[in-house]
Amino acid sequence: MHEIDVHAPEIDGSRITFRFDVTPPSDLYRRTTFTLDFPPSIDLTRLPSRLPGWLPLVVLHLHWALLAPCRVRLRYPLDEDTCRLFERLAQQGAETLAATRGVAPPSSAVRIVAEPCAEQPTDVAIRSDRCAVAFSGGKDSLLHVGLLTELTDDVVLVAVTSPMPPLEDHVTARRRRVLEDVAKRRPITLIEVKSDVRTLWNNAFSHSYGVSVSEVTDTLLYTAALWTAAAALDCGHTFLASENEVSETATRDGIVVQLPHFMYAVPTLVALDALARGIGLRYGSLTPPLHSAQVQHLLWTRYPDLRDLQYSCWRTRGADAACSSCAQCLRIALGALAAGGDPAEMGVDLARVLRRQAAWRATAADAPLAPDALPNDRVRRRLHAQVVRHLQDLDPAVVRARLPRSVSHLARWRARWGYRALRRRHLGVDVGLAPGYRREWLRFVDPLLRERVGTIFADSFPEEERSSYAAGLERTETLSRALLPREHPLPPAPGAR
C-alpha cells in the first residue's frame, strides 16, 4: 500500500506550489512538486479560504486510483464530507480503469484523512452570473466560446499551458495564434495559466489501462486553474467541454463503469459541482446533449468566425497546425466538409490526410454490439459510424474541389484515389441515420443557460428518441447519485415540450 502525504498549498504572489510525498516511491512520478503560475490580474489573496485546499485533490485524486490501494494524509485541515467525496471519485475511477484492464477493482481504492477542522470556514459565496470556461482551442471549448459570448457578457477564458515533451501541442506557433486571435475576435478576457505539472509524471505509467496519465489528469488540471481564476475574478459559473460520448457507460458485474476519459464525464462534473457550490461556484458543461459530430457541425455553421481556430490534433509539431495524418484528423476534416467548410481553414491538409488514412476501416460499425461491451467500444462504434455517414454523403466532386492547389498533381491524384477507396469500402455499411440531440441531457446544463442553449440545439438538430439512450441516461443518473453527497439531489429532468 502506498502512503501519500499532501502538504498545504503554498501561495506566493501569483504562484501556487503543491508538494506531496509518496511512500514507497512510485514509478508514476519523476518528482513530487508542481506549480500553477497565474498572471498578475489574478489576485490569489481573494480566493475563498477553502479553495486552495481542494486543488491538490482535484488534480491528483485519479493518480491515487492508479496507485490503489493507498492512504492519503492531508497535512492541513479539510472537512470530512470533502474527503469522502474525493474517495468516491477515486473509487469510481479505480473501478472504470479495472474494467478497462479486465481485472477486479479494489474494494477500497483510496482512504483520505485530514487534520481536523476547528470549525467550518464561512466564506462569502460568489454571487455573480459572470461565466468562465476552460479553453484549449478544441472544437468543444470553441463551441463554448461561441455559445457563451452569444448568450452572456464579459466571458473569461482560462487556458493552461503546460508542455509535456516530447509532445509539442502546448508550444506550437499555431496554439499561440489561437490564444491571441480568440481574444481579438470575441469580447472575452483570456487568462493563461502556466504549469510544470505535465512534466511531473511518467506518462506511460497507465498504458496498461489504455490511457496515458495526461489523459486522466489534464481536464482536472484545467478545472483547478479554472476555479482559481473564476473565484479571483468573481465568476459564479464555470464550464468545461463534455460532449455526450464522454459520458458513455456500461454495467459490468453490477458496477457502472465509464469511458476511460470519465474525468470530464457528467457524473464527475455533477459531483464537483456539488463541492464548488459551497463557495458559490457552479460547474458543468453546455454540451452533454450533443454528439461529437454535432459539436463540430454547430461550431462550423453557427460561429464561422471561430471555426478556423479549431486546434484538435495533439500530435501536431513544429509549424504545422495539425499532423494531417491520424484518424482524428480524418474525422474532423470530413466533419468540416460536411458542414460546408474547408479543412484547410483549421490547418488540416486534406490531401495528406486522405493519402495517409486511405486504408482506414470502420470497426464493425454495422455489426451488433455485445450487451456487455465496454464504453470505449461503444464510443468507438459511434464515432466510426459518423465517419461512415460522412463518407457516404460527401460526393467525391465536393472533396476534389477542396484539395489544396499547392500540392503536386501526383499528390492530388493519390488523395482522390484515397477518398474513393475509403468511400467505396463503406458505401454498403448500414449505420443508420445520424442521431439527434439528446434533450433529456439538458438537465445537466447550468440552469443559467439551460433553456436558451436547449433552444439553439432544438433549432439546429432533430431530437433523438429518448428510448435510444434511456438506459445510458439511467446509468449516468445512478452513478451521479452514488457520487453526490446525500443533501444534493440530481437536477430535475427538463419539462415536456
Please tell me the predicted confidence (pLDDT) of residue 497. Answer: 44
In a domain, 437, yes or no: no
Query: Same domain for 108 and 136?
Result: no
Residue with grid cell 472537512, as numbered in its chain: 79
In a domain, 494, yes or no: no
Q: Which of 426, 451, 469 is the last residue of a domain?
A: 426
Higher pLDDT, 91 or 253: 91
Distance, in Å, from the CA atom of 458 to the CA atom of 7, rounded to the nearest integer, reads: 48
8 Å CB contact between 483 and 185: no
In this predicted model, what pLDDT tens digit does every residue of 75-117 receive, in sequence order? Answer: 999 999 999 999 999 999 999 988 888 887 778 889 999 998 8
Distance, in Å, from the CA atom of 255 to the CA atom of 106, rounded to the nearest integer, reads: 12
Query: Same domain for 255 and 345?
Result: no
pLDDT band per the 50, 70, 90 thresholds, residue 489: confident
In a domain, 303, yes or no: no
In this predicted model, what pLDDT tens digit does every residue of 459-469 receive, in sequence order? Answer: 999 999 999 99
Distance, in Å, from the CA atom of 371 to the CA atom of 374, rounded to the nearest integer, reads: 9
Q: How many domains does the chain have?
A: 3
Mean per-residue pLDDT of the chain: 93
Radius of gyration of the chain (CA): 22
In a domain, 471, yes or no: yes
Q: Which of 398, 426, 454 is the last residue of a domain?
A: 426
Higher pLDDT, 118 or 219: 219
Q: Which of 395, 426, 457 is the last residue of a domain?
A: 426
Q: Give the number of other CB atoms < 10 A from CB of residue 469.
A: 18
In this predicted model, what pLDDT tens digit does every residue of 306-352 receive, in sequence order? Answer: 999 999 998 999 989 999 999 999 999 999 999 999 999 999 999 99
Distance, in Å, from the CA atom of 29 to the CA atom of 73, rounded to the nearest integer, reads: 18
In a domain, 438, yes or no: no
| Percent of the chain with pLDDT strictly greater than 70 | 98
Q: What is the mean pLDDT of residues 126-145?
A: 96
8 Å CB contact between 390 and 350: no
What is the DSSP annotation of 93-132? Answer: HHHHHHHHHTSPPPSS-EEEEEEPPSS---PPPP----EE
Q: What 3-state class would DSSP assign to 281? A: coil
Residue with grid cell 438538430, as numbered in its chain: 461
Among 71, 73, 79, smallest CA distance to 111 is for: 71
Residue with grid cell 453527497, as numbered in its chain: 485
Q: Which residues pair with 36 in a beta bridge?
A: 16, 195
Q: Which residues pair with 194 in a beta bridge?
A: 37, 161
Helix (H) or strand (E) holding 54: helix 51-66
Q: What is the mean pLDDT of residues 299-311?
A: 97
Q: Which residues pair with 454 in a beta bridge?
A: none
In a domain, 478, yes or no: yes
Query: Same domain for 447 and 421?
Result: no
Whether 218 shows a pLDDT value over 70: the answer reads: yes
Whether 120 shows a pLDDT value over 70: the answer reads: no
Amino acid identity at 243: E
Query: Same domain for 243 and 215?
Result: yes
Distance, in Å, from the CA atom of 147 to the CA atom of 151, rounded to the nearest integer, reads: 6
Query: Same domain for 215 and 287?
Result: yes
Sequence-separated (6 or more) residues with CB below 8 Å from residue 412:
351, 403
Query: Same domain for 104 and 137?
Result: no
Query: Same domain for 275 and 325?
Result: no
In this predicted model, what pLDDT tens digit does every residue of 131-140 receive, in sequence order? Answer: 999 999 999 9
Whether 121 shows a pLDDT value over 90: the answer reads: no
Q: In three state form, how does the secondary structure of the chain look?
A: CEEEEECCCEEECCEEEEEEEEECCCCCECCCEEEEECCCCCCHHHCCCCHHHHHHHHHHHHHHHHCCCEEEEEEEECCHHHHHHHHHHHHHHHHHHHHHHCCCCCCCCEEEEEECCCCCCCCCCCCCCCEEEECCCCHHHHHHHHHHHHHCCCEEEEEEECCCCCCCCCCCHHHHHHHHHHHHHCCEEEEEEEECHHHCECCCCCHHHCCCCCCCCHHHHHHHHHHHHHHHCCCCEEECCCCHHHHCEEEECCEEEECCCHHHCHHHHHHHHHHHHHHCCEEECCCCCCCHHHHHHHHHHHCHHHHCCCCCCCCCCCCCCCCCCCHHHHHHHHHHHHCCCCHHHHCCCHHHHHHHCCCCCCCCCCCCCCCCCCHHHHHHHHHHHHHHHHHHHCCHHHHHHHCCCCCCHHHHHHHHHHHHHHHHHHCCCCCCCCCCECHHHHHHCCCCCHHHHHHHHHHHCCECCHHHCHHHHHHHHHHHHHHCCCCCCCCCCCCCC
CATH number of the domain at 155, please. 3.40.50
In a domain, 32, yes or no: yes
| Percent of the chain with pLDDT strictly greater than 90 | 84
Please tell me the predicted confidence (pLDDT) of residue 369. Answer: 77
Amino acid identity at 286: L
Whether 260 shows a pLDDT value over 90: the answer reads: no
Question: Could you list the residue range(s) of the whole structural domain that residue 411 is in?
Answer: 312-426
In this predicted model, what pLDDT tens digit does every residue of 421-457 receive, in sequence order? Answer: 999 999 989 999 999 999 999 999 999 999 999 999 9
Helix 139-151 to helix 450-460 angle (10° resolution) is: 120
Amino acid identity at 67: L
Query: Same domain for 331 and 411?
Result: yes
In a domain, 464, yes or no: yes
Query: Same domain for 15 and 155?
Result: no
8 Å CB contact between 419 and 396: yes
Distance, in Å, from the CA atom of 104 to the CA atom of 107, rounded to the nearest integer, reads: 9
Residues in the chain: 497
In this predicted model, what pLDDT tens digit does every residue of 26-85 receive, in sequence order? Answer: 999 999 999 999 999 999 999 999 999 999 999 999 999 999 999 999 999 999 999 999
Higher pLDDT, 496 or 19: 19
Please tell me the predicted confidence (pLDDT) of residue 252. Answer: 82
Higher pLDDT, 251 or 342: 342
Helix 327-338 to helix 375-393 angle (10° resolution) is: 50
CA atoms within 13 A on the CB side of 334: 27
Query: Same domain for 260 and 381?
Result: no
Query: Same domain for 388 and 448?
Result: no
Torsion angle of alpha carbons 140, 146, 149, 150, nearest 10°? -130
Query: Same domain for 282 and 331?
Result: no
